[in-house]
Amino acid sequence: MLKRAFIFGLSILCSPLFAQPLAVPEVPHKMNFAGITLTIRDDARREIQKDVDALMQSPRHFQIKVERAKAYFPIIEKIFAEENLPNDFKYLVLQESALIGDAVSVSNAVGFWQFKDFTAREVGLRVDDVVDERMNIASATRGAARYIKKNNYQFNNWIYALQAYQMGAGGVSRAVRDVESGVRHMTITSQTYWYVKKFLAHKIAFEGALETNSNTSLQITWVSNNTIQSIQEQTGLEETKLRALNLWIRKNVIPDDKQYALILPKNDGSTLAQPEKLISTTTKPSTKSKTKESAKQYLHGIPVVYAQGGESISALAQKSGLSLPAFMRYNDLHGNEKIQTNVPYYLKAKHKKSKKINTQLKEGQTLWQISQQEGIRLTSLKKFNRNKIETLQPGETIWLTTRKNKNENQSELTTLQEPTLDNATFNWEIVLSTDSASILPVQTKEKLATTEQKENTDSDKQTKILPTLRQIPADGLHEVRPGETLSAISRLFGIDVEKLQLLNNLVGTTIQPGQKLKLTEQTSQAATVKNVLWHEVKPGQTLYAIARQYGVTIKEICDWNDKKDFDVKPGDKIKIEVNKKEIDNTNR
């Protein structure tokens, strides 16, 4: 009898942790977040409690996330400490992706921290068909930290910086009338933005389970100019395991443009064979070394450097003593450009406008090259010449300041000499957005209409020759290009701004590069036929890889297969629905 009882008790103790019911924490009346004391009212507590209950409803799935967090959080915490970001933000990665490296949202945000491609490039991540650093836990975490800090600089409030991670700084400015800058106490109510309440639920649910500090099972090795095969030989890892930890490697090679964080397992029984041979140096290159003051050159009062033949962006940044994201931000780079030897590269932020009034576009010259030669931010240059971007021709006048001087004639303006520049110092490290829509809230539709009317009037004053109206594409959609505004698109297609807002459910005038705008209410007349096929999961395949293979989203695959998680295993049959346009027999 005692023996049976002992065996029964031992079986319970040895059962998996996630098989046991979870003790669901209760949402407190007060809690701390990033140094702010939050008072949570009862109506908000009930909403947050529902989210906490839902997160812990399945002990198995909850424990899987906890184990992922134990592996990745030490890496995240170290990077946050280096970036001076409050440690509480680490729970945001669980809310964004559940720490699934190849997670893809319905809006095509990718990776651990769910970056869209253009935002990822803005924070210094490389995104192309060779490397996608959104799926690199170290690179993406550093990018997320800098994005959050940029928002906090604008609001001086970590709660609004958190909210801006989902809706953008412009969205917060429009949604919040009175931003509580620098406060140490805030009240959370049912009116608080849902994303903030959802985050608090994640913090409450996972904080207790992750209280004990655990050493990560992962390590980072810095690598450049290498191959998957070479790394396999040196580490003894199977390719499937190496790729599972480093989904950011899209091909079989790691490029040489910079050092990349390679994630490897620790204490898994495999021996890391001479890791120093993975790269030329075993440590991350320092960005603190400064160029000698005597070697610095100045242009427009800003220190510049010129590239040598064959230098990469990362090499030039390192030589200049700057981090790669800062160097790219100062020079309006996205990471895929080739370094030009005859162009100056700035070591601090360029000016918002020039003392020189205008210049002329030369044969083969781009706006970016002008922005570098004149020391003006590219966003400002596009704003000054927004009616010309689509129709630029050699010899055309390019404005370098806000307004052209009506008292001067054209010939005098183009021959003005560059004024003497001083070397006045300024803290260029923090760069505020020049997009007014991201700073000023839009209060009413009447105010919006007045603003648009004024903007259109100002645009008409700048040019007397209107561009030829562009024909609306067959699919009725227009993809927003960098620098385009809603009013510019309105003039391009001859569609009222108000109509564009109605067609696309826009509250204000803020649009983003890559966003697709509807230009008409008509939809394609071609019928579609659903072709159903079944995909057998191969070893090492993830749901993201399958979605990318068939050009569909993970959400669609989950809907078609009634999946509640992202787990797949070799041999699983996955249903895929492929759209094919039906052929009209009368047109054959």
pLDDT tens readout for residues 528-545: 445 678 888 888 888 878
Interatomic CA distance for residues 335 and 350, integer angstroms: 18
Q: What pLDDT was estimated at residue 450? A: 46
Helices (H), 292-343: 313-320, 324-330
Provide the CATH number for the domain formed by 24-210 in this structure: 1.10.530.10
Q: Residue 429 has which token pair?
A: 């490290």
Instruction: Give the type of residue at 538.
Output: K
Higher pLDDT, 230 or 545: 230
What does residue 460 show for φ and ψ, rounded to 5 degrees? -65, -30
Interatomic CA distance for residues 137 and 73, integer angstroms: 10
Residue 39's pLDDT band (cuts 50, 70, 90): very high
Q: What pLDDT was estimated at residue 46? A: 94
Contact residues for 117 (Cβ-Cβ < 8 A; gap 6+): 108, 110, 127, 134, 514
List the one residue out of 156, 334, 176, 436 whose CA is nearest residue 148.
156
- Tell whether the model's pLDDT for residue 319 goes beyond 60: yes
Torsion over CA of 505, 509, 512 and 518, rounded to 10 degrees? 40
Contact residues for 42 (Cβ-Cβ < 8 A; gap 6+): none
- Tell whether the model's pLDDT for residue 507 goes beyond 80: no
Q: What pLDDT was estimated at residue 390? A: 63
HEC string of 267-278 equals CCCCCCCCHHHH
Interatomic CA distance for residues 488 and 463, integer angstroms: 13
Partners of 531 in the β-ladder: 578
Q: Residue 260 has which token pair?
A: 């990349």
Tell me the range of 344-353, 380-389, 493-502, 535-544 where mean pLDDT is highest: 344-353
Task: Write the DSSP symbol of residue 293.
Answer: G
Please indicate, yes or no, whether the overall pTM of this predicted structure exceeds 0.85. Answer: no
What does residue 306 show for φ and ψ, rounded to 5 degrees? -110, 140
Average pLDDT over residues 236-243: 89
Ranges 75-89, 108-122, 337-351: which has the least confidence: 337-351
Average pLDDT over residues 199-221: 84
Interatomic CA distance for residues 471 and 482, integer angstroms: 20
Partners of 479 in the β-ladder: 516
Domain 528-587, classified CATH 3.10.350.10, yes or no: yes
Average pLDDT over residues 211-228: 81
Ranges 147-151, 173-177, 224-228: which has the least confidence: 173-177
- Tell whether the model's pLDDT for residue 79 goes beyond 90: yes
Interatomic CA distance for residues 535 and 547, integer angstroms: 11
Q: Residue 26 has which token pair?
A: 């209760």
- Tell whether the model's pLDDT for residue 461 goes beyond 70: no
Q: CA 251, 256, 261, 264 torsion: positive or negative?
A: positive
Instruction: Give the type of residue at 361.
Output: L
Instruction: Give the type of residue at 353.
Output: K
* Domain 442-518 architecture: Roll (3.10)
- Looking only at the bridges linking them, the beta strands covering 36-40 and 30-33 are antiparallel
Contact residues for 222 (Cβ-Cβ < 8 A; gap 6+): 259, 260, 261, 262, 278, 279, 281, 282, 283, 284, 285
How is domain 293-414 classified at the CATH fold level?
Membrane-bound Lytic Murein Transglycosylase D; Chain A (3.10.350)
Instruction: Give the type of residue at 297.
Output: Q
Kindly give the interhelix angle for 137-155 and 158-175, rounded to the nearest 10 degrees.
60
Q: Are 132 and 111 in contact (CB under 8 A)?
A: yes
Interatomic CA distance for residues 520 and 475, integer angstroms: 9
Q: What pLDDT was estimated at residue 417? A: 34
Q: Residue 170 has which token pair?
A: 């412009």
Q: Do 528-587 and 24-210 have the same topology in CATH?
A: no
Higher pLDDT, 316 or 461: 316
Q: What pLDDT was estimated at residue 337? A: 77
- Tell whether the model's pLDDT for residue 247 goes beyond 90: yes
Residue ranges of domains in the chain:
24-210, 218-278, 293-414, 442-518, 528-587
Ranges 23-32, 126-135, 242-251, 442-451: which has the least confidence: 442-451
Ranges 16-20, 40-44, 363-367: which has the least confidence: 16-20
